[in-house]
A and B are shown apart, each in its own frame.
Chain A
Amino acid sequence: MTEYAIETETIGKRYLLGEDASRTRVRQAVQALLPRWRSGELQDLWALRNVSFAVECGEAVGIIGRNGAGKSTLLKLLSRITVPTEGRARVRGRVGTLLEVGTGFHPELTGRDNIYLSGTILGMTYREVAAKFDEIVAFSEVEKFIDTPVKRYSSGMYVRLAFAVAAFLDPEILIVDEVLAVGDASFQRKSLGRLNDAARREGRTVLFVSHNLQAIRTFCRRVLVLDHGSLLFDGPVEEGIERYMRSVPSLIDLHKSGLKDRLNRTSGAVRFTAITALDQTEKATWRFQSGDTVRLRFSYEVLEPVRDLGFLLMLRAAIDGQQITTIREPLSDRPLAAGQSGTFELVLPNVPLRPGEISIYAALGYVDCRAFYDVIDANVDLPLLVIGSDTMDTYARQGLVSLEYRIQPAQPAAQVHA
């Protein structure tokens, strides 16, 4: 008989909506005392419903789905942060939860104190932290500042130290949310490498939520696809990713995604309202072949008057966050009045990208890009551009881009300077 590390049976979680203002809460409390028919206004939302699956010990399972699909809710249920409304789950062994980098960190405390504090909060004993302390510090590369309050750290140092603590957890089951999306490319490589060790070499059971499909491919042989709170697919990774990509709409309507999904550094004076990708034939799609012409069509509206408008686009390799290119273009040198809107298209002819997934980061801001009005990326469910290729030649698939080149006859190298 197989030992399951995780088993869930028709697990579900319902949240009550519209209870942000304390006044409604008081009203709800009052309503709860009144006869049943009065409380009909209460709106509820099943963040997750009727989800059943089992994970074997040592298995690494990826979880993908759009924002609001219930990925985080599932992780929170399995790590006991929140309690299911219905159904049940059985978890065998010590669970380590990484829903963010730096859980329990306090800015006023030194790096040393934070290692102990965060380590204990994440489930280590004091003695375990003490035993691993030197390794954690070495891994974080902040030895020199270990007795400095972490509020004086650069964000890179902070993230490295925080991740180092998490990297030395010793759970049987590791539950990881999109924590690796923070930090620079080298940090991402390092942390993905650590996760790979946990899953592959150390044989831990890993549940891993990510927008990074390439990382899912690397670590997991099995994937769960969630959609609007239900389990859409449970099976092999490639098939799951295929299912997921098919569920991505071709036109991303950004009216619906609130400002809270966007980066908080933006003013919101101008906002993207829609984005879609088109191929040469005007067909909306997020999947292209190497060498295709890619057209990205953006719509925006002006909510508050602005002095000018600039556009910034960054393309990154989804696998490790490596920047492929950055484009900055002015859209308007003159002031724009509230209520104006516009649509423009960015055409990338014959993109020389090799097979892989490209994440898009687009921003509207000052022409000089000193400040942004709106930024959209994976946080607003922007899909990845998927570049495919028919070629079977491994050497024509590796790497990020195809450079133009030619081979020509030439003199032997030794004779060039002769």
Chain B
Amino acid sequence: MTFHPDRHATSAVTEITSREPTFPDLRDAWRHRQLAVMLAQRNIKVRYKQTILGSAWIVIQPLLLTGMLTLILGALLSVPSGGLPYALFAFTGTALWTAFNRVVTDTGISLASSSNVILKVYFPRVLVPAAALLTAVVDFLPVYAMLLIATVAYGRFPGWPILLSPAFVFLALVMAFAVGLWVTMLDAIYRDMRLVVPSVLQLLFYVSPVMYAETVVPARWQMLYHLNPLVGLLEGFRWSFVAGASPPSVVDVAWCVGLSIVMLLAGLSVFARLERFAVDRI
């Protein structure tokens, strides 16, 4: 054990006051980034302990949903899928939807479920939701591979647009993360949030083009419908993944990008403001 007492003299001074920050100290968070990686690693290692199929569940969940939708909506009800094979249409939709859903949910409960650590030691709190996001990114990798296999198997490989697909995934995750930041703050204070969030997400699932093409929405509702940022995201993602899908409108994509930036900044800001308040309540 080496220790140099003179290090004190050169050490950084931390001011502890009641002053409320308006934004998280991202530089401090970046210095501690290894912790986010460790926490994400823990999430992944622990999640499927004592399950038989283990991490295969990551892929099984969207596949099961796709199978069910294809059977009922695609085969029995012939729901429009924008001219694409319904299974492929549903798989691209559910893959992105599942990732979005998971980031909102996991980020949303991250702070309260880490209370045992948060109440015992200090580190930049924003790393806790960040670890949840990181976990979701890793979780998406095998799903992404499955999607590639599926699109090639259907002979629908889209060519160069595939290069844009990570950007749409990124946008979706950023948006989900921003929502999750709000949720995790409110969840730490009002546990009702964990009851509200699933209902809201379910609603969002129905008003997003996951299982049906947006063409089924009547013309007079289209404007309103496209306010849902997931519309542009899902269409863009589909177009980047499946040849023959119609490209997303530039307005929709711009709306998504703009909204996710604003939501992320607002989410980080509310996190910084309420963090101290939440810690005393969890």
- Chain A positions within 8 Å of B, measured between CB atoms, are 3, 5, 11, 15, 19, 22, 25-26, 29, 57-58, 77-95, 97, 99-100, 103-104, 106, 108-109, 113, 116-117, 120-123, 125-126, 168, 170, 172, 202-205
Can you list the 9 inter-chain pairs with the closest CB atoms, starting with the nearest? A93-B11, A80-B122, A89-B16, A83-B276, A57-B8, A88-B17, A202-B3, A120-B38, A203-B5
Chain A residues, Cβ within 8 Å of B189:
25
| Interface hits, B155-192 → A, CB 8 Å | 189-192
Q: B residues 219-238 with Cβ under 8 Å of A?
A: none
Closest residue to B189 on the A side, CB-wise? A25
Contact B192 A22 (CB under 8 A): yes
The answer to whether B117 and A103 have CB atoms under 8 Å apart is yes
Q: Are B18 and A83 in contact (CB under 8 A)?
A: yes
Which residues of chain B come closer than 8 Å to A82, judged between CB atoms?
276, 279-280
A121 touches B35 (CB 8 A): yes
Check if B46 is an interface residue, CB within 8 A of chain A.
yes
Which residues of chain B come closer than 8 Å to A22, judged between CB atoms? 190-192
Q: Which residues of chain B are near A57, meaning CB under 8 Å?
A: 5, 8-9
Report yes or no: B38 in contact with A84, Cβ–Cβ below 8 A: no
Interface presence of B27 (CB below 8 A): no
* 4 more CB-based (< 8 A) A-B contacts, given A82-B276, A97-B120, A126-B34: A80-B122, A99-B120, A103-B120, A172-B11
Find B42's partner among A79, A85, A89, A117 (CB 8 Å cutoff).
A117
Contact B280 A103 (CB under 8 A): no
Closest chain B residue to A26, Cβ basis: B190
Chain A contacts of B65 at CB under 8 A?
none
Closest residue of A by beta carbon distance from B5? A203
Given contacts A80-B14, A117-B38, contact A108 B49 (CB under 8 A): yes
Contact B13 A91 (CB under 8 A): yes
A78 to B121, CA, bound (A): 11
Interface residues of B in 45-59 (CB under 8 A from A): 45-46, 49-50
By a CB distance below 8 angstroms, the chain A residues around B11 are: 92-94, 172
Within 8 A of A (CB), among B230-282: 276, 279-281
30 contacts across the A-B interface (CB closer than 8 A):
A11-B16, A15-B280, A22-B191, A26-B190, A58-B5, A77-B16, A80-B14, A80-B16, A81-B120, A81-B122, A81-B279, A83-B18, A83-B276, A85-B18, A90-B16, A91-B13, A93-B7, A93-B12, A97-B120, A99-B119, A99-B120, A99-B121, A108-B49, A117-B38, A117-B39, A117-B42, A120-B35, A121-B38, A123-B123, A172-B8
Inter-chain contacts of B12 with A (CB < 8 A) = 92-93
Bound-complex Cα distance A146 to B171 (A): 41
Q: Taking the nearest CB of chain B, how far is it from the CB of A288, in angstroms?
A: 38
A92 to B13, CA, bound (A): 4
Contacts A82-B279, A202-B1 given: A120-B34 contact, CB under 8 Å?
yes
In this complex, what residue of B is CB-closest to A94? B11
Nearest CB of B to A210, in Å:
17
* Complexed CA–CA distance, A209 and B1 (Å): 24
Contact check, B38 vs A106: say whether CB atoms are below 8 A apart.
Answer: no
- A170 contacts B3, C-beta separation under 8 Å: yes
Task: For B119, list chain A residues within 8 Å (CB).
Answer: 81, 99
B204 within 8 Å of A (CB atoms): no
Closest residue to A124 on the B side, CB-wise? B34
Q: Which residues of B contact A125 (CB under 8 A)?
A: 34
Taking CB atoms and an 8 Å cut-off, the chain B residues in 66-122 that contact chain A are 117-122
- Given A81-B121, A203-B5, A126:B276 Cβ within 8 A: no
Cβ of B279 and Cβ of A168 under 8 Å apart? no
B16 touches A172 (CB 8 A): no
- Most A-side CB within 10 Å, residue of B13, B38, B45, B192: B38
Do A3 and B46 touch across chains, with their CB atoms under 8 A apart? Answer: no
Across the interface, A121 reaches (CB within 8 A) one of B49, B117, B192, namely: B117
B122 touches A97 (CB 8 A): yes
What residues of chain B lie closer than 8 Å to A88, measured between beta carbons? 15-18
In the assembled complex, the Cα of A380 lies from the Cα of B11 at a distance in Å of 39
Residue of B nearest to A78 (CB): B16
The closest CB in chain B to the CB of A80 belongs to B122
Contact between chains at A121 and B123 (CB < 8 Å): yes
**B121 close to A97 (CB less than 8 A):** yes
Question: Which of A80, A100, A126, A204 makes the CB contact (< 8 A) with B3?
Answer: A204
Least CB distance from A314 to B in Å reads: 29
Given contacts A82-B280, A104-B117, A172-B8, contact A203 B3 (CB under 8 A): yes
Report how far A24 CA is from B146 CA in the complex, Å: 48
CB–CB B16/A83 < 8 A: yes
**Which residue on B lies nearest to A8, using beta carbons?**
B16
How many whole Å from B223's CB to the nearest CB in chain A?
34
User: Which chain B residues numbered 11 to 30 have a C-beta less than 8 Å away from chain A?
Assistant: 11-18
Query: B15 to A90, Cβ gap below 8 A?
Result: yes
Contacts of B118 in A (CB 8 A): 81
Which of B8, B18, B42, B49 has a CB less than 8 Å from the CB of A3? B8
B3 to chain A, nearest CB (A): 4
Distance (whole angstroms) from the CB of A225 to the closest CB of chain B? 22
CA–CA, A103 to B41, complex, Å?
A: 17
Looking at A86, A106, A170, which has the most chain B CB atoms within 10 Å of its CB? Answer: A106
